[in-house]
Chain A
């Protein structure tokens, strides 16, 4: 599957994160024998490129956050490989030190009220990662860097902001501090897990636009969201996940304007849009979202899909390429 995800770019020196066949199982109980597992992420492959954003779209429980956590090494993959540039990050013999890895890949969390320490100033939040990752920086230079970063994320006046505590800032401002913290480290990749879903509607766009500007500086994003409209707005490429499987991916415009997988079609038809009262046509069967087990078979969407056949219940469909940058895993399109 990997070659379909990575358009050949020989000689390109740009950094990237390359994920192949990522699978993550969680134990459901603590039994010693016959322990039950659930498969949160199953055979997921993608590539994050410098200066670009990849959106991972899906409902709660689709495994999108688990993917991000595996990428910043909070979870160990059960199978599959993750390369940061040319280094397999989970390979023991060339295992990078956590600090070196964290310098490259940082995460922004959903809740800006929970992700900053309430007893420290903004200056502390930003100076600490700089000191940690660049020990030679200190004194005036450190202060200078902190102020620069605060300005870069659009918080002004910078000096006053540096002296503030998190509770003195609004949600949007706090999220900017969280982004600033990733910048302070000098991260080349930012994994943003629903970075705007808890913010006031009028300031969400400001955060998205800030991240958009950061792409121009070569920072690559993984943008996790359940809002497919913002995925199209912010990300060059979009991958749709359902119960731990990537079901459709490619260029964001192709995926959102010309969705092919029945699940993507359902997802897009569900997005509320002013002035459009839906047709009564049912898009999917009412059924519970399955819990995926390592021995589960078939397409995870088969239980809800109106077009499902026996084949769909037996094995996961292979990848079909629909356009230059548009892939789907569904028997409907198998050539």
Chain B
């Protein structure tokens, strides 16, 4: 990976609030990150940490009660949040496509796979229906489904096949970025493996960048070049995949890594992370992780740690007072 290349996507200090009767829940809190062309950035964290909310923000897909209250999202220097409807329509799918979590719900059950595939082509390209259909068949074959399936309805396909169709639809216009929100979570492990293998091949062929969202750090370690860890709406650690998985600095990241029993290696009792995830409507003073952290200090209760850069190349950022103190003394 050439670190000098210009980022494809820059997310700068983005905040997303969910407006509720009992106050604003800040689901994404001052998150900044960038994705370079062809890179795979993983975003991990447990349910409710804001990773999906951030993904939706990148395509400016939020509707009330969600509100992107601060920040800018630059895609090749154009601010997605300032685009008008027509520009957004052009941007979405042409340049950044999205694969949602449950393929079962993102396909229309009463329309054939083929119609849904060519719908995207017809909406964005000036081609005839026949040309679009041929292109659709070709795409279906690239994701490993026979073209005769163009006339099938979603319920006639298995979960894994539906997920492949959704990936094919994302690839239709050859986008530079594909946002994948837990693409294999609902699938069995063998099917998940097939889809991931397919994805590696497609990525090699088309060279798109991926924002890969998952809670499964094992999977993340396989596909991602870099990993960002989110907790309660904040980015708490960012770095090279290997650094995050084997040399995590933030106590939350360490806890998360230690929450997955491995299939190989020694069998030891793992402790995971005590306590429960934070309620975003009752955020404490100071660090959001304080109540579950084993290394909590006085300062953590009063001052919110900033995301500091502990290493430039490859970029490594951590938001933790403990790490900050170590860095200062080192």
Q: Which positions in A face B, CB cutoff 8 Å?
A: 59-60, 170, 172-173, 200-206, 208-209, 212, 226-230, 232-234, 253, 256-257, 266-278, 280, 284, 286, 288
Contact = CB atoms under 8 A, between A and B. Distances in A.
Contact of B190 (A59, A203, A227, A274): A59
A42 to B, nearest CB: 20
Given A60-B188, A272-B192, A273-B263, A200 B277 contact: yes
11 contacts: A201-B46, A203-B273, A205-B270, A229-B262, A233-B261, A253-B267, A266-B190, A272-B192, A272-B219, A274-B222, A277-B222
Nearest to B190: A270
A227 B219 CA distance: 13
A233 B270 contact: yes
Contacts of A228: 189, 263
Interface in B30-61: 46-48
Q: Which of A203, A226, A227 neighbours the largest number of chain B CB atoms within 10 Å of its CB?
A: A203
Given A232-B261, A232-B267, A278-B197, A201 B189 contact: no
Given A232-B263, A266-B190, A268-B263, 15 more contacts: A59-B190, A202-B277, A205-B261, A226-B188, A229-B262, A234-B261, A267-B189, A271-B189, A272-B192, A272-B221, A273-B222, A274-B218, A275-B221, A275-B222, A277-B222
Give the size category of B's interface with A: 35 or more
Looking at B48, B219, B259, the one whose CB has the most chain A CB atoms below 10 A away is B259
Contact of B245 (A173, A230, A274, A286): A274
B119 interface: no
A210 to B, nearest CB: 11
B272 A205 contact: yes
B276 A170 contact: yes
Contact of B222 (A202, A272, A286): A272
A226 B187 CA distance: 10
Contacts of B200: 277
Contacts of B314: none
A172 B276 contact: yes
B206 interface: no
Given A209-B272, A274-B245, A59 B221 contact: no
A306 to B, nearest CB: 14
Interface of B: 46-48, 144, 158, 188-190, 192-194, 196-197, 200, 215-222, 241-242, 245, 255-256, 258-264, 267, 269-274, 276-277
A205 B218 contact: no
B192 A203 contact: no
A274 B272 contact: no
A227 B218 CA distance: 12
Nearest to A198: B47
A272 B273 contact: no
Nearest to A276: B222
A273 B192 CA distance: 13
B259 A204 contact: yes
A272 B219 CA distance: 5
Given A232-B263, A272-B196, A273-B263, A201 B256 contact: yes
A280 B196 CA distance: 12
For the complex of A and B, list the 4 residue pairs with the smallest distance between their C-beta atoms, beginning with the closest.
A274-B221, A205-B272, A233-B261, A270-B193
A165 to B, nearest CB: 16
Most chain B CB atoms below 10 A, which of A204, A205, A209: A205
Nearest to B241: A274
A158 B30 CA distance: 37
A205 B259 contact: yes
